[in-house]
Amino acid sequence: MSSKLVSMREAIAAHVHDGDTVAIEGFTHCISFAAGHEIIRQKRRNLTLARMTPDLIYDQMVAAGCAKKLIFSWLGNPGVGSLHAIRRRTEPAALAAGESLLEIEEYSHHGMVGRYVAGAHRLPFYPLRSYSESDLPKVNPLIRKVASPYGGEEIWAVPPLNPDVTIIHAQRADAEGNVQMWGLLGCQKEAAFAARRVIVVVEEIVPTSVIRSDPNRTIIPGLIVDAVVCEPYGAHPSYVQGDYDRDNAFYREWDVISRDAAATEAWLQEWVYGVEDRAAYVAKFGADYFTQLTPPPAPSGSVDYGDYR
Amino acid sequence: MSSKLVSMREAIAAHVHDGDTVAIEGFTHCISFAAGHEIIRQKRRNLTLARMTPDLIYDQMVAAGCAKKLIFSWLGNPGVGSLHAIRRRTEPAALAAGESLLEIEEYSHHGMVGRYVAGAHRLPFYPLRSYSESDLPKVNPLIRKVASPYGGEEIWAVPPLNPDVTIIHAQRADAEGNVQMWGLLGCQKEAAFAARRVIVVVEEIVPTSVIRSDPNRTIIPGLIVDAVVCEPYGAHPSYVQGDYDRDNAFYREWDVISRDAAATEAWLQEWVYGVEDRAAYVAKFGADYFTQLTPPPAPSGSVDYGDYR
Amino acid sequence: MSEQRPASKSELMVVASARALTGKRVCFVGVGLPNIAVNLAKRTVAPEMELVYEAGVFGANPARLPLSIGDPTIVTGSTATVSMHDLFGLYLQGGRIDVGFLGGAQIDRFGNLNTTVIGAYDAPKTRLPGSGGACEIAINAKEILVIMRQSTRSFVQTLDFRTSPGNLGGADEAAKIRTAQGWGGRGPTGVITDLGVYGFDDDGEMVLRSLHPGATLEEVRASIGWEIRIPHDVPATPAPTVEELRLIREELDPTGAYVS
Amino acid sequence: MSEQRPASKSELMVVASARALTGKRVCFVGVGLPNIAVNLAKRTVAPEMELVYEAGVFGANPARLPLSIGDPTIVTGSTATVSMHDLFGLYLQGGRIDVGFLGGAQIDRFGNLNTTVIGAYDAPKTRLPGSGGACEIAINAKEILVIMRQSTRSFVQTLDFRTSPGNLGGADEAAKIRTAQGWGGRGPTGVITDLGVYGFDDDGEMVLRSLHPGATLEEVRASIGWEIRIPHDVPATPAPTVEELRLIREELDPTGAYVS
């Protein structure tokens, strides 16, 4: 098979276009900040940003002017508080002169998962037992009732979500894009299968033989992957199970920075526009910074697949 | 947590009753023949036997008079041919005097998977893109059309299947019933979550610490498990990835045995009624028999979860 | 031990919440106070309890107090780490969760919750996080416990937005709709605040069940935006034990980040 | 090599099937002849092909020829081993399968297939295995190749049961229904038998495309239950190469269990 290994610059240039619907997924774990920052550097505009939890990365992308719309289920700085850049684009009183409100399309967690599942399974809708007597369907006409063909019962449905591009981060992949990850799996598999194009970012490129030694660990096959980027620490300040911890101090720091539009812009200038790529970002922190985020090992142990010949 | 470890005799006595809907799942891999044989020995009657691929185990249970109905998607001896005992109960010309035809409820593979998924997710139906212009919905009124709430399109649906008891076999579990397996996963997770009661049969009981060292490998939590049975070689003549190979010679032998009702009965007398339990069945084969089915190792390798404290 | 300082309001909330979990088996954990409460319960009144995190973890055994709902410490050493599709579909909607903890910016007398907006949805005064998993937890967990600090801004006559349904307009309506629409649970059963513990009466309306040490009925009334039902003899919430406070202060939140 | 014995009918089928996979990327494999054909194609005309087994394996790399569709050898060394929910939902229904191989007890002129019963459904003369994954493979794989031996019992005027839809009553009807009902694929594109290779014409009806070495048009006509469409100049199927036969006989089926 042919290698899909490219730089982040190449991956974003080739696969993320103005006006696209982009899903950078990963629930707290393995969020591709490296991809988000490169999208900011390449000045993509009018993106529809889909993500269960927009987290800091979408706050930064919104602050940088990349987004026209958000599709999400929980809008916050997890464990800390608000996403202030996004709030400035969603609360009329906080809106700066010349800015417009972001479009908002809002679900619950199960609903967002269901949208990706429907997209990935090529289903016209995904049924679920949520939304009953909630006001969410009143403000989101895409949340609809569906009648069961087995009785009078009506439950709720969400429509498929098929992003133009889904970007995920993981521990390892081979050059063809066969991806293995462990720890929180979020909805990455479903978001990737639902997408028209997939960019995979990993801490480490491994030989295909490593992937094939534990095939149950594979969450996404190279078949659906368009680009593979090797980007150590590419998920910082989020984390990669076993590789580095969440930089909780930065999550708290962002709460302060992002309250102020000028401070936010200054941060983007220094840490996004001001660095060429993720390697430069990592170098700017210094190696010691990441050493203190590295946990001692907790090995899974090995299982035996058996050599059947 | 309290141990759920019991003998197979106790597990079947406590959890499988006459008239129950029973699902012994496992797609070629990890089929609990040990449980099926104990159900035969305990002379359960009028069971509805659900399974994607009835395989030899349901052929044997039908021959032994346990079943009144089959729910399935593919009825055969995989890689060999027909299930002759079941054919004798489904083809009027082959029916013995005094016997009645089995009730038949038939789906496709995706449909059977969908039935378990709906049962496990507590959904009133599962939508899928199958059955269009097939005759299957004509002979199974439970396969119905469902209208998408997002446009004129109609697709197909199957109803939930909630077995009274699901029985699965796996490589390992702890005494609480946290189950880990690798290799073909079939629909065991969904069939177990859909069931009212769950019996887990494993090759090996491991300390909970082994389970907790690789939590992504867990397919079923002890929470939904009622009984744990340790039964080495309990899946023979099917196989357990890494532990032993499929006994293809027996699958071919069954094709000969099962063509003849008397030979089938003689086989049941010798290998099911004539042995007290699975340990006696294994002993009757002799240790060497299983040694030749044991593959050389093919280790998965270990991954690192990180010790976060 | 004799030097132990008195319980703070946060500590009173945590201890009362932990006790509400007595004998419970499977609890959907939120971060912050619920997280500490659940971990306290596991060490005291509910040793067999399994912690479920919406991020996809069942049987978590965190070696440190998780800061976020998806902290890596909830994964390492857990019984099962699964996709969110499985977590929300098989575990929550499938009916395997006994207790879900919720909070919110606003609650009404029937335990309905708002975590979406203050003000109009299209032009909010304050944009809140939204549902996350709250809407489906409210519908599908077998029962709901709410943890919130009292104030007339949060205990309101009318919600600005109903994110997560509670007892709707009252017990009768709620019972009918739960059956008709196949909800998995019976809705809110308790509200634990900084001043007291509340239950729900036969009308489905919130009622004071016990008053925390140091709190007064006047404080209770003054911080609730409707006329709260208060029975004649309201007992005092039993004070935290020495051991409960020790566990919180020394093991669960040694830096006092949450319970101060 | 000069001693190589002539190709058997099974070998002709396998070689023709393998060649039909030229350049294909993702193939849903059945056991028996399709399995050998696909493995031959991977070694000759389609080296980049990924083998998908309905049992839940993507990118299989079997070290021996699998006897059953769920042989452990398809798992060890595969790229991904997944649940059947994922295999049928994400891979097949999701539109990731280029070619599906099907066979059956009966096929009609439009490539519709029966694998369910001979005789009446409720009182069958012969109870066949049923659909398995065939019904959804027929609908969702981008194209379908059929491998079957010819006889008037199997190439029939009218199916006893339509398990898996092909071109229905003809190309126009099939095209309309595929669009209206959102099928993922375009249905059958080839039928490979022991006598020849067939395609489908603009009417959606089976038509002879090439005649295997040694087979005659008389044999073809005599073993098909309808008047098969045969163009004026039917070419001969190019004979198996020395290397193709060597691969089958020495590597893929050394015991001759399938291709004898």
% residues pLDDT > 70 (chain A): 100
- The model's confidence at residue C53, banded by pLDDT at 50, 70 and 90, is very high
Q: How confident is the model at residue A205, as a pLDDT?
A: 98
- A109 close to C (CB below 8 A): yes
Interface confidence, given as ipTM, is: 0.97
Residues of B in contact with C89 (CB under 8 A): 120-121
- Give the residue-averaged pLDDT of C152-169: 98
B partners (3+ CB pairs within 8 A) are A, C, D
Q: How confident is the model at residue A109, as a pLDDT?
A: 98
Q: Evaluate if residue D1 carries a pLDDT over 70.
A: no
- The model's confidence at residue C111, banded by pLDDT at 50, 70 and 90, is very high
**CA–CA gap between residue D46 and residue D22 (Å, rounded):** 5
- The model's confidence at residue C213, banded by pLDDT at 50, 70 and 90, is very high
Q: Evaluate if residue A309 carries a pLDDT over 50.
A: yes
Chain segment B270-282, per-residue pLDDT in tens: 999 999 999 999 9
Q: How confident is the model at residue B152, as a pLDDT?
A: 74
Q: At what angle do helices B248-257 and B261-268 cross, to 10 degrees?
A: 130
Q: Evaluate if residue B129 carries a pLDDT over 90.
A: yes
Q: How confident is the model at residue C246, as a pLDDT?
A: 95
Cβ neighbours around B226 below 10 Å, total: 18
- B58 close to D (CB below 8 A): no
- A290 close to B (CB below 8 A): no
Using alpha carbons, list the distances in angstroms from residue C101 to B309, C134, C142, C148. Answer: 25, 9, 11, 10
Of residues A188 and B287, the one with the higher pLDDT is A188
C partners (3+ CB pairs within 8 A) are A, B
- D1 close to A (CB below 8 A): no
- B152 close to A (CB below 8 A): no
Q: Evaluate if residue B200 carries a pLDDT over 60.
A: yes
Inter-chain touch D131–B109, beta carbons under 8 Å? yes
A partners (3+ CB pairs within 8 A) are B, C, D
**CA–CA gap between residue B194 and residue C246 (Å, rounded):** 42
- B141 close to A (CB below 8 A): no
Amino acid at residue number B224: I
Chain segment A3-60, per-residue pLDDT in tens: 999 999 999 999 999 999 999 999 999 999 999 999 999 999 999 999 999 999 999 9
- A71 close to D (CB below 8 A): no
- Give the residue-averaged pLDDT of D129-134: 96
Q: How confident is the model at residue C215, as a pLDDT?
A: 96
A153 to chain B, closest Cα gap in Å: 8
Chain segment B8-47, per-residue pLDDT in tens: 999 999 999 999 999 999 999 999 999 999 999 999 999 9
Residues of C in contact with A92 (CB under 8 A): 123-124
- The model's confidence at residue D2, banded by pLDDT at 50, 70 and 90, is low
Q: What angle do CA B232, B235, B237 make, to 5 degrees?
A: 120
- Give the residue-averaged pLDDT of C159-176: 97
Active site residue C54: yes
Using alpha carbons, list the distances in angstroms from residue C227 to A166, A243, C155, C157, C213. Answer: 51, 54, 11, 9, 22
Active site (catalytic) residues of D = 54
Q: How confident is the model at residue B308, as a pLDDT?
A: 96
Inter-chain touch B184–D56, beta carbons under 8 Å? yes
Q: How confident is the model at residue B153, as a pLDDT?
A: 78
Amino acid at residue number A291: T
Chain segment C168-210, per-residue pLDDT in tens: 999 999 999 999 999 999 999 999 999 999 999 999 999 999 9
Inter-chain touch A298–C77, beta carbons under 8 Å? yes
% residues pLDDT > 70 (chain D): 98
Q: Evaluate if residue A98 carries a pLDDT over 70.
A: yes
**CA–CA gap between residue B163 and residue C172 (Å, rounded):** 33
- The model's confidence at residue C2, banded by pLDDT at 50, 70 and 90, is low
- The model's confidence at residue C225, banded by pLDDT at 50, 70 and 90, is very high
Q: Evaluate if residue D22 carries a pLDDT over 50.
A: yes
- Asked if residue C240 has a cis previous peptide bond (ω within 30° of 0), the answer is no
Residues of B in contact with C57 (CB under 8 A): 215
Inter-chain touch A120–D75, beta carbons under 8 Å? no
Residues of A in contact with B117 (CB under 8 A): none
- Tell me the whole-structure pTM to 2 decimals: 0.98
| Residue of chain B whose alpha carbon sits nearest to that of C90 | B121
- Give the residue-averaged pLDDT of A248-252: 95
Residues of A in contact with D96 (CB under 8 A): 223-224
Mean pLDDT of chain B: 97
Question: Which of A76, A113, A132 has the CB atom closest to C139's CB atom?
Answer: A132
Residues of C in contact with B218 (CB under 8 A): 79-82
The CA-to-CA distance between both ends of chain D, in Å, stands at: 18
Inter-chain touch D75–A215, beta carbons under 8 Å? yes
% residues pLDDT > 90 (chain A): 97
Q: How confident is the model at residue A265, as a pLDDT?
A: 98
Question: Which of C84, C165, C182 has the CB atom closest to A133's CB atom?
Answer: C165
- The model's confidence at residue C143, banded by pLDDT at 50, 70 and 90, is very high
- Give the residue-averaged pLDDT of D112-138: 97
- C47 close to B (CB below 8 A): no
| Residue of chain B whose alpha carbon sits nearest to that of C140 | B122
Amino acid at residue number C113: L
% residues pLDDT > 70 (chain C): 98
Q: How confident is the model at residue A1, as a pLDDT?
A: 59
Of residues D65 and B129, the one with the higher pLDDT is B129
- The model's confidence at residue C247, banded by pLDDT at 50, 70 and 90, is very high
A110 to chain C, closest Cα gap in Å: 6
Q: Could you give phi then psi for residue C219, rounded to 5 degrees?
A: -60, -45
Local structure of D244: helix, strand or coil: helix
| Residue of chain C whose alpha carbon sits nearest to that of B308 | C73
- The model's confidence at residue B1, banded by pLDDT at 50, 70 and 90, is low
**Residues paired with residue C27 on neighbouring β-strands, in sequence order:** C51, C99
Chain segment B53-74, per-residue pLDDT in tens: 999 999 999 999 999 999 999 9
Chain segment C56-79, per-residue pLDDT in tens: 999 998 888 888 889 999 999 999
Question: Which of B125, B157, B301 has the CB atom closest to A213's CB atom?
Answer: B301
The interface residues of chain D toward chain A in range 17-46, judged by CB-CB distance below 8 A, are 25-26
Inter-chain touch D165–B134, beta carbons under 8 Å? yes
**CA–CA gap between residue D36 and residue D107 (Å, rounded):** 22
Tell me whether residue D122 is exposed, middle or buried, using C-beta atoms within 10 angstroms of its C-beta: 0 to 12, 13 to 18, 19 or more.
exposed
- Give the residue-averaged pLDDT of C208-227: 97
- Give the residue-averaged pLDDT of B160-174: 98
DSSP-assigned states of every residue in chain A: ----B--HHHHHHHH--TT-EEEE--SSBS--HHHHHHHHHTT--SEEEE-SS-HHHHHHHHHTT-EEEEEES--SBTTTB--HHHHHTT-GGGPPTT--PPEEEE--HHHHHHHHHHHHTT-S-EEES--TT-SHHHH-TTSEEEE-TTSS-EEEEE-----SEEEEEEEEE-TT--EE--S--TTHHHHHHH-SEEEEEEEEE--HHHHHT-GGGEEE-GGG-SEEEE-TTTTTTSBBTTTB---HHHHHHHHHHTTSHHHHHHHHIIIIITSSSHHHHHHHH-HHHHHTTPPPP-B----B-----
Regarding beta strands D188-192 and D143-147, do their DSSP bridges make them parallel or antiparallel, or are they unpaired? parallel
D partners (3+ CB pairs within 8 A) are A, B
Chain segment B201-248, per-residue pLDDT in tens: 999 999 999 999 999 999 999 999 999 999 999 999 999 999 999 999
Residues of A in contact with B243 (CB under 8 A): 304, 306
At which residue do the structure tokens 């070694």 appear? D43
Residues of B in contact with A182 (CB under 8 A): 214, 216, 303, 305
How many helices and strands in chain B, by DSSP H and E? 12, 12
| Residue of chain D whose alpha carbon sits nearest to that of A180 | D80
| Residue of chain B whose alpha carbon sits nearest to that of A160 | B150
Q: Evaluate if residue C136 carries a pLDDT over 80.
A: yes
Q: Evaluate if residue C31 carries a pLDDT over 80.
A: no
Inter-chain touch C79–B305, beta carbons under 8 Å? no
Q: Evaluate if residue D251 carries a pLDDT over 50.
A: yes
Cβ neighbours around B78 below 10 Å, total: 25
Residues of B in contact with D165 (CB under 8 A): 132-134
Q: At what angle do helices B55-63 and B248-257 cross, to 10 degrees?
A: 30
From A204-208, A287-291, A292-296, C193-197, the region with the lowest mean pLDDT: A287-291
- Give the residue-averaged pLDDT of B261-276: 98
- Give the residue-averaged pLDDT of C222-237: 97
Q: How confident is the model at residue C65, as a pLDDT?
A: 84
- The model's confidence at residue D29, banded by pLDDT at 50, 70 and 90, is confident
- The model's confidence at residue C1, banded by pLDDT at 50, 70 and 90, is very low
